[in-house]
Amino acid sequence: MRLVPNQDPNKISRLFTKHIKRIAPKSVKVEVRNLNGAYPVLTPLNNPATIAAAKSMEKAFGKKIVFMREGG
């Protein structure tokens, strides 16, 4: 699932698991597995790695890069 700033992935996983188990019918066996997790991050546009990636994408696709916030 996609997290927003200041969310703890471990806490969200616990809350999600608790909620799904609570709403599942008694006749349904529920198993939730947390396969990985990471804290949300926002990379500055003036970061050297971001600039290098943007230049590479522009060169590869011949289009100006448009930055937008989205999960990945």
Instruction: Give me the chain's average pLDDT, please.
Output: 91
CA 29 to chain centre: 27
How far, in Å, are 22, 44, 45, 72 from residue 68 at the CA level? 36, 12, 10, 11
In this prediction, residue 44 carries a pLDDT of 92
In this prediction, residue 72 carries a pLDDT of 61
> What sign has the CA pseudo-torsion 32, 35, 41, 45?
negative
| Residue where the block lists tokens 């990636």 | 53
Per-residue pLDDT of 16-60, as tens digits, reads 999 999 999 999 999 999 998 888 778 899 999 999 999 999 999
Higher-confidence residue of 36 and 14: namely 14
pTM of the model: 0.61
How is the chain split into domains, by residue range?
1-40, 42-72
Query: Burial, 6: exposed, middle or buried (Cβ in 10 Å; 0-12, 13-18, 19+)?
Result: exposed
In this prediction, residue 2 carries a pLDDT of 81
What number of residues does the chain have?
A: 72
